[in-house]
Amino acid sequence: MWSALGLIVGVTVLSIFRDIVTHFIDDFKYRVKSRQPLSAKHRSILNKYSAYYKLLSTADRALFERRVQRFMFAKRFISRGVGPITDEMRVLISASAIQLTFGLTEIYLSNFDKILVYPNSYYSHITKKYHLGEVNPRAGIIILSWKSFVDGYADPTDSLNVGIHEMAHAIHFENRILNEEYDFLDIELMELLKQITAREIWNIRNLDGHFLRDYAATNAYEFFAVSLEYFFEQPVQFKQEIPDLYELLVRLLNQDPIRIYKLAS
């Protein structure tokens, strides 16, 4: 009787000990990996597919690569019917997050540790609708349809980019979540953004032919996410149409796509 109990206790203690050791080994592996330079294979993926990365200076490219590497090894990429997660998925999804945060101090969206990748649009049990992407701050999940993600970057000037859109949501939430990355967006600028958002949502709902698509008027979160799609994909027109919002986003994210893409404004 006692020996059976002793055996159960022993096995339990051993399995807890094994879990702790595994956790520390995984954590150590991540730390080592995340500080290694981006591999040549991963760099070639950026070179091939990231228009943003290709336009950066040599010094900024090195910085971008380092941040992509850290982001990539901080997240668990989980396939939801898309087959094995590929290097392209890891690198390019990480690059879309780094693109948005590149002007800021290092932000890795630490609340979101899981990235779920679906092949196409998927049914969300939360909203009871089909989605191309979604973020769930409580569960720490960013969800993307790989087809929509690729389509978003395939046409870099149509202002439809689900990668930018979902990462914008993640940044917006991350800024409000009490963790080590809390309040990284300037408080005064965020206050000003609130005012401009209210003004422009009214304009979209009440005036014809607004520069931003109607979906931006859904709420302040969608307004921010849609605005960033236009900010990166149609910056010149954006600056002409809503100059105060464009300038505000330049200051908030500390980067100007017109300059990065070397466009004439």
- Residues at the contact surface with Zn ion, assessed by CB under 5 A: 222, 225
Length of the chain: 265
- Integer Cα distance of 232 and 257 in angstroms: 6
Query: Closest separation between CB of residue 225 and Zn ion, Å?
Result: 5
Least Å distance between CB 130 and Zn ion? 14
83 in Cβ contact with 43 (< 8 Å):
no
Instruction: Kindly tell me which of 151 and 222 has the beta carbon lying closer to Zn ion.
Output: 222
Positive or negative, the CA dihedral 61, 65, 67, 68 is: positive
The least distance separating Zn ion from the CB of residue 190, rounded to whole angstroms, comes to 18
- Closer to Zn ion by CB, 72 or 216: give it: 216
Question: Rounded distance, CA 224 to CA 219, Å?
Answer: 9
Neighbours of 8 (CB within 10 A): 10
Nearer to Zn ion, 65 or 229 (CB): 229
Coil vs helix vs strand at 39 = coil
Residue showing the smallest CB distance to Zn ion in the complex: 225
Element (H, E) at 165: helix 162-176
Minimum CB distance to Zn ion, residue 111 (Å): 17
Decide whether 222 or 241 has the Cβ nearer to Zn ion: 222
Q: Minimum CB separation from Zn ion for residue 17, in Å?
A: 44
Give 216 or 250: the residue with its C-beta nearer to Zn ion.
216
Neighbours of 119 (CB within 10 A): 14
